[in-house]
Amino acid sequence: MRYLLTLFFLIAVLSFDADAQRWKRYRHEVFGGLGATNFLGELGGGQTEARDLFLDFDGKSSRYVVMGGYRYKLNEISSVRGSLAYAQVYGSDRLSGDPHRLSRNLTFRSPIVEMTATGELYFIREKTSNRYRVRGIRGALGSGISAYINAGLGVFWFNPRGQFIGNDAYPGDNKWYSLRPMGTEGQGLPGEKKKYSPISVCIPMGISAKYSINRNVSLTLEYSFRLTFTDYMDDVSTDYYDPLAIAEANGGLGTPKGDAAAYLSNPAYEIIKGDGERFIAGGNTPWQEPVQQRGDRTTNDTYMFAIVALNYKFTSKKANRPKF
């Protein structure tokens, strides 16, 4: 009897060890997904005055993102991944309810190409064993749902563009122009600051829920935001600059690019507030002393991703044998 009990004990230990090591057969995973983006910066925003981060969220400015990558499982509760994403972000003062923003009348759109490396920490562990699929077992562990938080470091390229709608002074052609080469805040002009870089660093942070369809295939819903080290994703950061000087630096007045640069540096128009007050952002000559504020140089831009991804785990052919 003693030998029989010892045999049963060994079988149970070996079975537990084999099951506990099962995750090692599913360390390598690829994923791809798509979703929506949103931008938080100087342009656009909610129906009130500018506020920080999520308080200034504007759903109408959402655009799309496509992402793919590779994940490697370090242990049962942590993994690392690398990803590549292409996205579009957008912001427009015309969608805001704030009269100052409406009058400022700035709009931009920009592609984003992003590469990130992130670490993932599961607070609801991912399951790989069939024993969690048995009907009648109580608890959420059998649902196939896991969840994790993630954070890391990334680099991205952006290229803000503005639409030359035009006004009485600058007849528009409705084309979209790259804003960085124009120096819409005087960048690149003699004695002024250099033009900003179209490449910057970001810190991605987020939370995800994962549903396992089977041992190899799963779906992920992830929400994450990016803190960046640039305030120029929307080409707006500091103060107004003389539009005539900007036009001269871009071919001169009367040329398509010169007129576009002058207009896109300051397309503000007069509006009438609810109390009847007439108002124009920055005043009629905002580049003269005292220079008027165009953006907020004290805060950097932020963008967000909400993605649904399909994941596939590769199964290792090497058997996991218990070690003695």
Q: Which pLDDT score, from 0 to 100, does residue 141 have?
A: 44
Q: Binning pLDDT at 50, 70 and 90, where does residue 3 land?
A: very low
Nearest Cα residue to 200 out of 237, 170, 174: 237
Please give the Cα distance from 201 to 220 (Å, whole number).
25
Q: Which pLDDT score, from 0 to 100, does residue 285 have?
A: 79
Percentage above 70 pLDDT, the chain? 81
* Whole-number average pLDDT of the chain: 84
134 with 261, same domain: the answer is no
54 with 114, same domain: the answer is yes
105 with 59, same domain: the answer is yes
248 Cβ neighbours under 8 A, 6+ residues apart:
258
Reply yes or no on whether the pLDDT at 181 is more than 90: yes
Domain count for the chain, please give it: 2
Please give the Cα distance from 53 to 58 (Å, whole number).
11
Q: Hey, what amino acid is at 174?
A: N
Please give the Cα distance from 292 to 281 (Å, whole number).
9
| 64: number of Cβ within 10 Å | 12
Q: Binning pLDDT at 50, 70 and 90, where does residue 69 land?
A: very high
Q: Which pLDDT score, from 0 to 100, does residue 278 have?
A: 74
Q: Which pLDDT score, from 0 to 100, does residue 99 have?
A: 81
Please give the Cα distance from 164 to 256 (Å, whole number).
10
Containing 206, the helix (H) or strand (E) segment is strand 199-212
Please give the Cα distance from 280 to 276 (Å, whole number).
13
Reply yes or no on whether the pLDDT at 14 is more than 60: no
Burial of 315 (0-12, 13-18, 19+ CB in 10 A): exposed
Please give the Cα distance from 67 to 65 (Å, whole number).
7
169 with 150, same domain: the answer is no
> How many residues does this entry show for the chain?
324
Q: Which pLDDT score, from 0 to 100, does residue 18 have?
A: 45
Please give the Cα distance from 98 to 96 (Å, whole number).
6
Residue 17 belongs to some domain of the structure: no
Percentage above 90 pLDDT, the chain? 57
Residue 1 belongs to some domain of the structure: no
Q: What is the CATH number of the domain that holds 68?
A: 2.40.160.20
215 with 256, same domain: the answer is no
Reply yes or no on whether the pLDDT at 185 is more than 80: yes
Are 260 and 216 within 8 A, CB to CB? no
151 with 178, same domain: the answer is no
| 100: number of Cβ within 10 Å | 17
pLDDT digit string, tens, across residues 79-96: 999 999 999 999 998 887
Q: Binning pLDDT at 50, 70 and 90, where does residue 1 land?
A: very low
pLDDT digit string, tens, across residues 213-255: 998 999 999 999 999 999 999 999 999 999 999 999 999 999 9
95 with 224, same domain: the answer is yes
Hey, is 194 helix, strand or coil?
Answer: coil
105 with 188, same domain: the answer is no
47 with 95, same domain: the answer is yes
Please give the Cα distance from 57 to 66 (Å, whole number).
21
Are 117 and 153 within 8 A, CB to CB? yes
Q: Which of 54-58, 151-155, 227-231, 289-293 has the lowest mean pLDDT?
A: 54-58
The mean pLDDT value for 124-153 works out to 70
Domain residue limits at 184? 160-193+239-294
68 with 115, same domain: the answer is yes
